[in-house]
Amino acid sequence: MLSPTVVSLLLPLFLLSGDARHAKADPCIAMDTGFNLLVFGVDGKDWNAGTQDTWTSEGSATDITAAANRPPFDGANTTCYLAQFYNAVYVLNGDASDASAVYIYDAGAKSWSKQSVDVPSGGAHTFDTSDFGAILDHDTNVFYAMSKGEVFFLNMGSLTAANGSALSWTDVGAPEAWGDLSSYEPTMALAQNHIHFIGVPGLQPGQADIFVIHFSFFQPEAQSYGSDFSQTHGQTASFFQTDGVQQEFAFIPDDGSATYVINVESNSTQTLAGPSVKDAGAKYFAGVTSLVQLSAAQGELQFLPYTQESDNSAASWTKITSVSVPAGSDSSSSNSSSSSSSSSGNSSATGSSTASGANASSTSSSAASGLSATAAAAAGMQTLMMTTLVGGVALIAVLL
């Protein structure tokens, strides 16, 4: 049962995001194997923004929206991954109506398909599709995810289009040596077939805990990366090589105060400028020579040029103008409430560590059926007292 406190935390997120009949949109970014930037789910469209040399040519992106089997990009926390050997992009949480499905974009054929995926449930082995972090391993094309402290894998084989039979997330286990991670919000990054976990309770600044994929081994001792980056939640992106496995990854803390690039060969870290756009809900993707940030809430798409194994201290963030991302693109309709685009940016920034998206949205939409957006907006959130009824979807609003 949700406590009144939880409800009152969740409700404003819903009220400020406008009419509940319009699902939330959650765009994401990736690249294909030619390192063309792909921007998915902006106002119902997908774009190929070309290679890095064209990103500052205004409006030069190509519309690649293909209707058949395309995900609606209305999930709680949509993430996109490049399967480099197969020139395919895998989309997790791209469809609120089927949170476990993996949508596959065949970047060569420019077509979509939907892969059915089974999710284990029951006790410690429950994979919560609304609460996990994931990476796609480069060499094996296997996803690894942590959900509430438990690690799972999903083998994508060589798929560039959905298989007729469902795939399945499989339980790996929990890293007991790292402590109880059931409430840890994963900050995970891939390099050299090792998964690096930042922000694990007990780590010192500049450290990461490591899962060795090929041995399915949780390394008990932490690794230090010659820096003092803080043990906070953030986003990550692994720099691709033209061939071969990633060796460096970027870590951007939620406050956007810096961009750390960790090299797992030299055990060293470069501390670079944080993105000028501060958005804990921003998405990141790294190619061979750049780190790209998408803030759908603030309508910003930027990149940081980066040369691997070199000093990048002079690198600065630059706006990408080849494709336009309107502010509030994380909300598919901004017409119902004039404040929705700015407030949704704020709510995703502050809400991320407290409430999981799907729980918040499912609670909100059951509330919505009994509550008109207009009445709620007029009443103001601080004058609402919520009463929860268990055993049904009823949620009664009492206007004081």
Ligand X SMILES: *[C@@H]1O[C@H](CO)[C@@H](O)[C@H](O)[C@H]1NC(C)=O
Q: Which residues bind ligand X (CB under 6 A)?
A: 77, 79, 128, 130, 133-134, 157, 159, 163, 165, 167, 185, 187, 223, 235, 266-267, 279, 333-335, 342, 345-346, 349, 352, 356-359
CB atoms within 10 A of CB 200: 18
Q: Judged by CB, which is closer to ligand X: 322, or 363?
A: 363
Instruction: Give 39's strand partners.
Output: 29, 47
CB of 266 to ligand X, least distance (A): 5
Residue 339's alpha-carbon distances to 17, 281, 328, 331, 333, in angstroms, are 8, 18, 10, 11, 11
CB of 384 to ligand X, least distance (A): 20
Residue nearest to ligand X (CB): 157
Q: Judged by CB, which is closer to ligand X: 175, or 351?
A: 351
DSSP 373: H
Q: Judged by CB, which is closer to ligand X: 52, or 263?
A: 263
CB of 143 to ligand X, least distance (A): 10
Helix or strand run (H / E) with residue 41: strand 37-42
CB of 53 to ligand X, least distance (A): 29
Instruction: Determine the Cα–Cα distance for residues 205 and 288; give it in Å rounded to an integer.
Output: 27
Residue 102's identity, in one-letter code, is V
Instruction: Determine the Cα–Cα distance for residues 364 and 386; give it in Å rounded to an integer.
Output: 12
Helix or strand run (H / E) with residue 13: helix 4-16
Coil, helix or strand at residue 258: strand
CB of 57 to ligand X, least distance (A): 26
Residue 99's identity, in one-letter code, is A
Residue 319's alpha-carbon distances to 167, 238, 299, in angstroms, are 39, 21, 11
Q: Judged by CB, which is closer to ligand X: 107, or 167?
A: 167
CA-angle at 122, arms to 143 and 198, nearest 5°: 40
CB of 235 to ligand X, least distance (A): 5
CB of 134 to ligand X, least distance (A): 5
Report the length, in residues, of the chain. Answer: 400
CB of 327 to ligand X, least distance (A): 9
Q: Judged by CB, which is closer to ligand X: 325, or 349?
A: 349
Q: What are phi and psi of 349, to 5 degrees?
A: -70, -45
Instruction: Determine the Cα–Cα distance for residues 220 and 33; give it in Å rounded to an integer.
Output: 35
Helix or strand run (H / E) with residue 152: strand 150-155
Q: Judged by CB, which is closer to ligand X: 56, or 354?
A: 354
Token pair, residue 363, equals 């609670």
Q: Judged by CB, which is closer to ligand X: 39, or 296?
A: 296
CB of 51 to ligand X, least distance (A): 25
Contact 102, 115 (CB under 8 A): yes
Q: Judged by CB, which is closer to ligand X: 128, or 255?
A: 128
Closest CA to 268 of 311, 304, 211: 311
Q: Judged by CB, which is closer to ligand X: 171, or 185?
A: 185
